[in-house]
Amino acid sequence: MDRFVFLTLDGLSRGSVYAASALALVLIWRAARIVNFAQGAMAVAAAYVAHSVTSATGSYWLGFLAAVVAGLLLGALVDVAVMRLVDHRSPLNPVIVALGLVLLIQAVLGMVYGNEYRPAETPFRRTALSVGGVAVLSPFDLFVFATIAVVVVGLAWIFTRTAVGLRMRAAAFAPEVSRLLGVNVGGMLTLGWALASGVGALAAMLVVPTELGLHPHAMDLVFVSAFTAAVVGGLDSPPGAVVGGLLVGLLLSYVSGYVGSDLTPLAVLALLLAVLLVRPAGLFAPVAARQV
Amino acid sequence: MSATRAAAPPASRRPTAGVRPAGGPRGSTLLRHLAVVAVAALLLVAVSYGLEPFRNFQLATVAAYLCATAGLTVLTGLNGQLSLGHGALMAVGAYTVALSQNAFADRGVTGQWVLPISLGAALLTTVAVGAVIGVAAARLRGPYLAGVTLAVAVVVPALTVTFDGVFKGEQGLPVPVEPPPAALGPYFPYERWQLWVAGAATLLVLLLLGNLVRSRFGRTFRAVRDDEVAARLAGIHVARTQVLAFVVSAAGAGLGGALLGVLAQSVSPGAFSLTLSLFLLMAVVIGGLGRLAGAVWGAVLLVVLPDLTHTVSDLVTLPPAVAQRLEGNLPLAIFGITLVVVMIAAPGGVQGLLSRLGRALLARWRPRRT
Amino acid sequence: MSHMPRVARHALAIATSITLLVTAVGCTGEESDSGGRQVPGVTDTEIVVGTHMPLTGPASAGYSKIAPATKAYFDYVNANGGVHGRRITYKVMDDGYNPANTQQVVRQLVLQDKVFAVVNGLGTPTHSGVLDFLKSNRVPDLFVASGSRSWDQPDKYPGTFGFNTDYTVEGKILANHVKTSLPGRKVCFLGQDDDFGRDSLAGVEKVLGAGAVVAKQTYVTSNPNVAPQIGAFKAAGCQVVILATVPGFTALSVGTAARLSFRPQWLVSNVGADHPTLAKQLGAGAPLLEGMVGANYLPMQDDAENPWIQLFTRVNKAHNADAPFDGNSVYGMAVGYLFVQALLAAGKDLTRESLLAAVAKGGFQGPGLAPLRFSATDHSGYGGARLSQVSGGKQSYFGPAYETDEGDGPVKEYAVTPATPPANGVPTVS
């Protein structure tokens, strides 16, 4: 039972980070109909900015802030300088461009920082607090949960309660009508990219310290899990991304704890197939997804 | 917006000159393709005598990748299904050929007929695996299909570690291959023989795919890609067509992987990672999606890229500290930028660019002649 | 009109074929004159050798520093007159730890660049795939950078020699430490899910007995979360944990254990025990490494008293742009030194046969703390290791060096004092 509690909490803690990354994917998908394969690499770039700022100033929180700002700017830059110019008639084109960006970003990071692992700091201790002899959660885990809860609630508030959020949704769902009504559709799209990339950067700041450390490829595997989470939840559904992320985190933890870590990829595939064969557009897809 | 709209196939405004069924009588298509293949085969033999062994090997590797990129072109370019998992299908072919060749070698069975049997076995196994994935894929669209194929790309290499009793884990399996037939003489370079084997198999695949593309099946593939609803109204069984496209494509990938294993004389999971799947996709898109000629450029790119790595770092002489950082990273950065620029400036890829160029030249040339 | 492009295409095809044929004929002309008895890669003034290494990609961390260090040592030797008047040119090819790329780059080295030998090709899965190719082209394949036992097959691969202490020998020596210094403790084992982990576990169990390891766990590099495994160790009450892990996963295991308030005695394989690498990765968590026991067979990089380290630091300053000096640098230079020794022993009339004969003859004295086992029947590298411990943020050796075999032989002390380097840092004919 202790082991079950331990694995569950460990899975939830990682799952919440997958949830944040998946949320970033969902944001861009809803805004631009693009699966941003470069999100992991962009987030790592932001984490490197944090690393530089933290080593220069000695302050974790300045670095944290710098990462989020860098994420926002990078997202806007990628939209304005690259994605806006891509011919979107074939859905493949943005995918390929994103893959090109992955290569470019990782290579540039490798040139600037070298292909070494660098330690990633945490603002709180990662030593787990014990309750009744069972190691439960560390202060850092609590920080992760709190941050992601704030992000989820904040995004929900922006999209449902603010004028900007309303315009972004309008621009995404009915661009022509929105343009006629005076909404700056392009600007809203850029804002969407910036927001998503900022959330992605935040996720990187939370997950990199729990893994091998900072490295140009640090988010590769997280991206695969996050993409899986987004697909399982349904790319059009932010709540789906959160549920999908937690589900994938739990699954990975249980399988490597009870069965063997080499079987985790197989478990992920099984989850994907089980969900998608029943609901081809994810768990939280609108019911009448296909009209034919 | 529903998921269906999202995953809607590309607007069919893409110029389809290269893949449109040829005007003229049906029978001549096969004959013309046969003639082209025969010329290509002769050319390949001539080239194999002219090139150094390493270039022969590189060309053989291009041929092996070409099987896979041609298959992917049929699936993604003609049928509109996105696959991030073709590297895994190549792994299936490669491991089948390895297990089969080892089984023959262990029993002391030798002879030049052994390899074709193993390659056939690899083809059949991949077709079976492709059919299973294809059935699942036919229910899915756009990013959901990408998600499943991505998972396949991650799972298949991992399985070799899980079942390391059979697949020998990360270390992989050797692929024992016979030396060239004695009839070719005792000093026949091994790399030339490799090119002949890979070239023959690939030309056969291209011949079959070329005919398929221009047949009734090719037309139904494109009809499903362009508009599923219209295709259904026209009496096409959409799901069946998609499964068929997946199976054909998987066969190409499987044979390509098998050839790659035969060329390398070894197979291991690291050679068929997710990166390979992504590179295959990038290669066909840069080459020019929607035509088999684009697949050729893609395959060339896959082989030239690592070579470029070396050449670029050789060209620049820099202080060691800088050189160590640029080594390997610089070519990747250049490749990344090229990828982005090509997609923005010439979304039709290399082949699209060449066709445009060719048309422009012809347009200038024709008025003067007539 | 619709067939006009086709005509153009055929014209293009014909033009291309003519060009290619012309080129082809041109090449054949050049090819025929290389049939002499010349040794590939060797001239009166130069020896060209090559290697394959991961310089990019996730596996390149740390390893990417080995080849530059080897190259720096060769440059040092070249600056001191070379070997029998020949300069050594070292071609380093990046394979990104991808076996498919290794196939390409090794063929390029052998067929295109015509290297004399392949030296220190890195990685078990990558190098396994080129063994047959190197054998059929009779290319000496020296000092493979991996502790797999595959390199020691003199009958099957007469041209291949290892370098690293193999994982089984290392496992036996680590287990011997448990047996003699930590008796009665509960021993657990975490290994990579491949030959590395398996061979190491086999060595551990040879010394401690099959049932002695209480909990055995594995990890795969594609899943950077070892909390489930470490949690199981904690639940099993492990007191000693033996790690057959790469550096990233050593750091991860130590860090994960700390956050579960689990503090066992760590015993770490040489592959994953380099303190500077681990400390860098753990950052503020570096003090967690206090007390960690590691195995190694080369001098410690920060042992300023050691004459070899003095030599290698000097070479690093002069020829490697004073790159950060760590265990990988020592390793790379030690490989370079051994190769120069082998070249010298092969004599002035250098051929591939004479080089292999010189290596198989053995008897090399260098920076190593354990014996090099090379002989006609043994192609494995170092046959032992010495244990080190981290204390006060510094990793230093303690106790004697040990030697043993992969079989059931005992773990013995190796009492031979290490050689000192020659005054000018370049080996002489022994």
Here the tokens at position B327 are: 């080594």
Q: Note the pLDDT of residue C8.
A: 47
Among A97, A106, A273, beta carbon nearest to B343: A97
Q: Note the pLDDT of residue C340.
A: 95
Q: Verify that C171 and C292 share a domain, yes or no.
A: yes
Q: Verify that C306 and C344 share a domain, yes or no.
A: yes
Mean of the per-residue pLDDT values of chain A: 87
Residue B346 pLDDT grade (very low, low, confident, very high; cuts 50, 70, 90) = confident
Residue C4 pLDDT grade (very low, low, confident, very high; cuts 50, 70, 90) = very low
Q: Verify that C276 and C345 share a domain, yes or no.
A: no
Q: Verify that C305 and C350 share a domain, yes or no.
A: yes
* Lowest pLDDT segment from A252-266, B204-218, C372-386: A252-266
Q: Which helix (DSSP H) or strand (DSSP E) does residue C215 occupy?
A: strand C213-219
Our CA-based measurement puts residue A89 at a distance from the nearest CA of chain C, in whole angstroms, of 26
Q: Is residue C89 part of a domain?
A: yes
Max mean pLDDT among A19-23, A82-86, B49-53, B144-148 falls in A19-23
Helix (H, G, I), strand (E, B) or coil at B341: helix
Q: Which residues of B touch C133 (CB under 8 A)?
A: 265
Q: Is residue B98 part of a domain?
A: yes
Range of the domain at C244: 167-296
Q: Verify that C269 and C188 share a domain, yes or no.
A: yes
CATH of the domain at B184: 1.10.3470
Q: Is residue A283 within 8 Å of A233, Cβ to Cβ?
A: yes
Our CA-based measurement puts residue A9 at a distance from the nearest CA of chain B, in whole angstroms, of 25
Q: Is residue B340 part of a domain?
A: no
CB contact set of B337 (below 8 Å; sequence gap of 6+): A100, A104
Determine the length of chain A: 292
Residue A134 pLDDT grade (very low, low, confident, very high; cuts 50, 70, 90) = low
Inter-chain contact B154–A224, Cβ cutoff 8 Å? Answer: yes
Q: Is residue B344 part of a domain?
A: no
Q: Note the pLDDT of residue A141.
A: 87
Q: Verify that C245 and C153 share a domain, yes or no.
A: no
The total domain count for chain B is: 1
Longest Cα separation, chain B = 71
pLDDT in tens, C264-309: 999 999 988 989 888 888 888 889 999 999 999 999 988 889 999 9
Q: Note the pLDDT of residue C253.
A: 93
Q: Is residue B230 part of a domain?
A: yes
CATH of the domain at C73: 3.40.50.2300
Q: Is residue B303 part of a domain?
A: no
Q: Note the pLDDT of residue A128.
A: 74
Task: DSSP letter for C74, please.
Answer: H
Residue B367 pLDDT grade (very low, low, confident, very high; cuts 50, 70, 90) = low
C237 in contact with chain A, both atoms CB, cutoff 8 A: no
Q: Is residue C17 part of a domain?
A: no
Q: Verify that C110 and C139 share a domain, yes or no.
A: yes
Q: Is residue C368 part of a domain?
A: yes
Q: Verify that C337 and C286 share a domain, yes or no.
A: no
Q: Is residue B103 part of a domain?
A: yes
Q: Note the pLDDT of residue C59.
A: 72
Average pLDDT over residues B231-252: 93
pLDDT in tens, C188-219: 999 988 888 989 999 999 999 888 999 999 88
Average pLDDT over residues C39-47: 92
Q: Which residue of C has its CA nearest to B42?
A: C17
Q: Is residue B280 part of a domain?
A: no
Q: Which of C90, C59, C69, C73 is nearest to C323 (CA)?
A: C69
- H helix intervals, B265-348: 274-288, 292-315, 320-326, 329-345
> Among residues of chain B, what percentage have pLDDT more than 90?
37
Max mean pLDDT among A137-146, A252-261, B96-105 falls in B96-105
Phi, psi of B327 (to 5 degrees): -45, 125
Inter-chain contact C222–B154, Cβ cutoff 8 Å? Answer: yes
Q: Verify that C171 and C290 share a domain, yes or no.
A: yes
Inter-chain contact A100–B155, Cβ cutoff 8 Å? Answer: no
Nearest 10 degrees: CA dihedral of B73, B74, B78, B83? -70
Q: Note the pLDDT of residue B28.
A: 76
Q: How far apart are CA C178 and CA C187, in angstroms?
A: 8
Final residue in a domain of this structure, among C296, C327, C346: C296
Inter-chain contact B325–A105, Cβ cutoff 8 Å? Answer: no
Nearest 10 degrees: CA dihedral of C194, C200, C203, C207? -130
Q: How far apart are CA C167 and CA C297, in angstroms?
A: 12
Q: Is residue C262 part of a domain?
A: yes
Q: Verify that C78 and C109 share a domain, yes or no.
A: yes
Inter-chain contact A228–B158, Cβ cutoff 8 Å? Answer: no
* pLDDT reading at C58 higher than 80: no
Q: Note the pLDDT of residue B18.
A: 41
Average pLDDT over residues A240-260: 91
* pLDDT reading at C17 higher than 80: no
> Among residues of chain B, what percentage have pLDDT more than 70?
86
Our CA-based measurement puts residue C214 at a distance from the nearest CA of chain A, in whole angstroms, of 17
Q: Note the pLDDT of residue B273.
A: 84
Range of the domain at B166: 28-273
Give A118's strand partners: A214
Inter-chain contact C128–B161, Cβ cutoff 8 Å? Answer: no
Residue B310 pLDDT grade (very low, low, confident, very high; cuts 50, 70, 90) = low
pLDDT in tens, B119-164: 999 999 999 999 999 998 888 888 888 888 988 998 898 888 888 7
pLDDT in tens, A179-217: 888 888 889 999 999 999 999 999 999 988 887 788 888
Measured CA to CA in angstroms, residue C380 lies from A276, C30, C136, C298, C338 at distances of 51, 40, 21, 16, 14
Q: Note the pLDDT of residue B187.
A: 79
Task: DSSP letter for A11, please.
Answer: H
Inter-chain contact B274–A224, Cβ cutoff 8 Å? Answer: yes
Q: How far apart are CA C310 and CA C421, in angstroms?
A: 10
C354 in contact with chain B, both atoms CB, cutoff 8 A: no
The total domain count for chain C is: 2
pLDDT in tens, A1-21: 678 888 898 899 889 999 999
Inter-chain contact B265–C129, Cβ cutoff 8 Å? Answer: yes
Among A110, A138, A212, beta carbon nearest to C259: A138
Inter-chain contact B144–A231, Cβ cutoff 8 Å? Answer: yes
Mutate which: C65, C97, C198, C225, vs A, most A CBs within 10 A? C225
Q: Note the pLDDT of residue B195.
A: 94
Final residue in a domain of this structure, among C250, C279, C296: C296
* pLDDT reading at B342 higher than 90: no
Residue B315 pLDDT grade (very low, low, confident, very high; cuts 50, 70, 90) = low
Helix (H, G, I), strand (E, B) or coil at C92: strand
Q: Distance between alpha carbon C10 and the CA centroid of its chain, in Å?
A: 52
Q: Note the pLDDT of residue B19.
A: 43
Average pLDDT over residues B53-57: 89
* pLDDT reading at B64 higher than 90: yes
Final residue in a domain of this structure, among C271, C296, C321: C296
* pLDDT reading at C74 higher than 60: yes
* pLDDT reading at B22 higher than 50: no
Burial category of B23 from C-beta neighbours within 10 Å (exposed 0-12, middle 13-18, buried 19 and up): exposed
* pLDDT reading at B20 higher than 60: no
Average pLDDT over residues A24-30: 91
Q: Note the pLDDT of residue B313.
A: 62
Q: pLDDT higher for B71 or B24? A: B71
Among C222, C228, C283, beta carbon nearest to A221: C222
Q: Verify that C188 and C126 share a domain, yes or no.
A: no
Q: Verify that C73 and C160 share a domain, yes or no.
A: yes
Mean of the per-residue pLDDT values of chain B: 84
Give C387's strand partners: C295, C398
> Among residues of chain A, what percentage have pLDDT more than 90?
42
* Lowest pLDDT segment from A169-183, B75-89, B191-205, C84-98: A169-183
Q: Which of C146, C152, C246, C119 is nearest to C193 (CA)?
A: C246
* Lowest pLDDT segment from B3-17, B90-104, C7-21: B3-17
Q: Is residue C209 part of a domain?
A: yes
pLDDT in tens, C296-347: 999 998 888 999 999 999 999 999 888 888 889 999 999 999 999 999 999 9
pTM for the complete prediction? Answer: 0.83
Q: Note the pLDDT of residue C34.
A: 40
